[in-house]
Amino acid sequence: MKGVTFDRHGGTEVLQYRDDLPIPEPGYGEVLLRIKAAAMNYNDIWARQGVPGMDFPLPHISGTDGAGIVEALGPNVTTVAVGDEVVVNGAFSCGDCVECVRGWPMFCPKFRIWGFETGPNQGSEAEYATVPARNVIPKPGNTSFEEVAAISNVLATVWRMLVTRARMGAGDCILVWGAAGGIGTAAIQLIRAFGAKSIAVVGSEDKAKLVSDLGADYVLNRKSQRITREVMKITRKRGVDIVFEHSGAATWEESTHCLRWGGTIVTCGATTGFTAPLDIRFLWTKQQNYLGSHFATTAESRDSLRFVESGQVKAVIGELLPLKEIVRGHELLASGGVAGKIVLVP
Ligand SMILES: [Zn+2]
């Protein structure tokens, strides 16, 4: 089969597009998927470069986002049939331990992110992949494979952050950093669908127009405006109810300044760095909440995809590339210049 693989870490020169990779066999409880579309994720870059302290099985096929058609079933698969059009929740776990049963698969000792920690030769950036049947979700009928591959994991991640963890409600005002990216564009649309208000932060005028078209209530440009001052103007000095964080070191301190007393910062990442100052006085006197959120359950994927089915949330595809142009995909992703997701078609 065709696929992109690498057998050592490094720059984009380690990526190999090949057509002689073996088609994987579905194991117990797994299905074989013919991938119709894969979407890129920052995990692709981390896996290619290598992460200190993490052991990646090599050779490696990246890809945490994917949609396709069920081609074959392994033993003991009862919930999926050959020919089903599906999308994958990329948070794999055992399904049986107490943490999985409790609904916290991220705490499962066998928790693995598809195409990142799995391997060798797993991930969606290939013609075929095997995935657990419990992670497979019916594709909403009104969306293409490209659209659902682009939106599914990002929307589920946003759902867990805002709905499950931060308990977003109608009328809340939410500051969204990096609003034009994959998770940012999903957040803006979900916030609107919930009857809450968003203050979207972007870094260029093109991106400002995109998030405004998606329904952002206020748009701020971090290059030309002072974010805390603008947020305080918009909220009449109260601060926002929730800050949607995934940037980390570059924005964290400002996030705490923009947050109202009793408000919540929820984060799912730190692309600009892992350490930030913390004024502990805010924690106790302002009784603020700092919450972590990691990926999402299959149930959260299903719940959030209902908003795609209803048309309230749409995929934002920044770039559609043939799989063999993987190097360009990595360059575009690393540059941060693409609004929305980069989708690869095998
Ligand atoms: Zn488990």
Q: What is the pLDDT of residues 27-78, one digit of tens each?
A: 999 999 999 999 999 899 999 999 999 989 899 999 999 999 999 999 999 9
Q: Is the pLDDT of residue 337 over 80?
A: no
Cα–ligand 1 centroid distance for 20 (angstroms):
34
CA of 225 to the centre of ligand 1 (A): 46
Cα 187 to averaged position of ligand 1 atoms, centre (Å): 28
CA of 64 relative to ligand 1 center, distance in Å: 19
For ligand 1, the distance from its centroid to the CA atom of residue 107, given in whole angstroms, is: 7
The answer to whether the bond into 59 is cis (omega within 30° of 0) is: yes
- Centre of ligand 1 from the C-alpha of residue 327, in Å: 35
The structural domains of the chain, ordered by start, are 3-143+315-345 (3.90.180.10), 155-292 (3.40.50.720)
Enter the tokens of residue 170: 């109608």
65-73 vs 85-88, strand pairing mode:
antiparallel
Report CA(81)–ligand 1 centroid distance (Å): 24
CA 219 to chain centroid? 22
Distance from the alpha carbon of residue 30 to the mean position of ligand 1, in angstroms: 16
Mean predicted confidence (pLDDT) in 170-199: 96
Q: How many CB atoms lie within 10 A of CB 224?
A: 9
Once rounded to an integer, what is the mean pLDDT over residues 314-341? 92
pLDDT of residue 102: 94
Give mean pLDDT, residues 305-330: 96
pLDDT higher for 335 or 195? 195
Distance 9 CA to ligand 1 centre (A): 29
As a whole number of angstroms, the distance between CA 256 and CA 239 comes to 10
Q: pLDDT band at 188, cuts 50/70/90?
A: very high
Structure tokens at 121: 């030769």
Contact residues for 107 (Cβ-Cβ < 8 A; gap 6+): 99
- Distance in Å, CA 94 to ligand 1 centroid: 4
- CA 278, CA 230: separation in Å to the nearest integer? 22
110 C-alpha to ligand 1 centroid (Å): 6
Q: What's the CA-to-centroid distance between 109 and ligand 1, angstroms?
A: 6
Distance (angstroms) between ligand 1 centre and the Cα of 106 equals 8
**Closest-CA residue to 118 (of 188, 27, 195):** 27
Q: Ligand 1 centroid to 159 CA: how many Å? A: 21
- Residue 26: its pLDDT value, please? 97
Confidence band of 181 (pLDDT split at 50, 70, 90): confident
Give the distance (Å) from ligand 1 centre to CA of residue 151: 25
Q: How far is the CA of 260 from the centre of ligand 1 (A)?
A: 37
